Amino acid sequence: MIKSKKITLGKQGSLFLILYFTAVQGAFSQASVIPAGSVPAPTNIRPNDCPCIFKDRRVYFRVTAPDAGKVQVDLGKVYDMQKDEKGIWSVITDPQDPGFHYYSLIINGFRVSDPASESFYGTGRMSSAIDIPEEGVNFYAVKDVPHGEIRNRVYFSKTTGTWRSINIYTPPGYDKSLNEKYPVL
């Protein structure tokens, strides 16, 4: 027998859910508008959507939330977004430092993830994030060079008296050069 409990959200909770799902639905149905001189962020769920990054590292954010009274984006600094006649909120930020930045949308005071961005765990909760590229630096880009492997091994630890799991990186060609010594970190 399944027992059910009634969940009461109250006016604020109900309003939040209505606004959030309106924003999510609108974000997925809105036409893509990439501002001139910008490129979609690599963390976007859909490749031709916003947020978008300008060459000077400013970021353009947009979200559809026609019934919201106030929408902001928190990117370490909180930016107020402006609403157009279609209920689309947008803002262009100051130039950002290169690197990975967590952010969230604030819709009528409630923090939510951006439905247009992938979500990442790193701020004590799931958050949206954007990676601001650095001119001339492509350290994290996948390149056409030989790659190593990450191998998982299980071993018995005499220290803890238990079986443990370990991940080990082996460089390219590791199994072909059995006599070669490699540095261990």
Q: What tens digit of pLDDT does each residue of 92-148 get?
A: 999 999 999 999 999 999 999 999 999 988 778 888 999 998 888 877 677 899 989
| pLDDT at residue 16 in the model | 46
pLDDT, position 49: 87
- Percent of the chain beyond pLDDT 70? 82
Residue 61 above 50 pLDDT? yes
Q: What is the pLDDT of residue 57?
A: 95
pTM over 0.75: no
pLDDT given for residue 17 in this prediction? 44
**Domains parsed from the chain with CATH numbers:** 10-132 (2.60.40.10), 146-185 (no CATH)
* Beta-bridge partners for 72: 80, 106
How far is 86 from 68, CA to CA, in rounded Å? 12
pLDDT single digits (tens) 133-162 = 888 887 767 789 998 999 999 999 999 999
What's the CA gap between 46 and 48, in Å, rounded? 6
> Quick one: pLDDT at residue 15?
45
Q: How many helices (H) and strands (E) does the chain have?
A: 1, 13
Q: What is the largest CA-CA distance in the chain?
A: 70
Beta bridge partners of 60: 52, 92
Mean pLDDT of the chain: 83
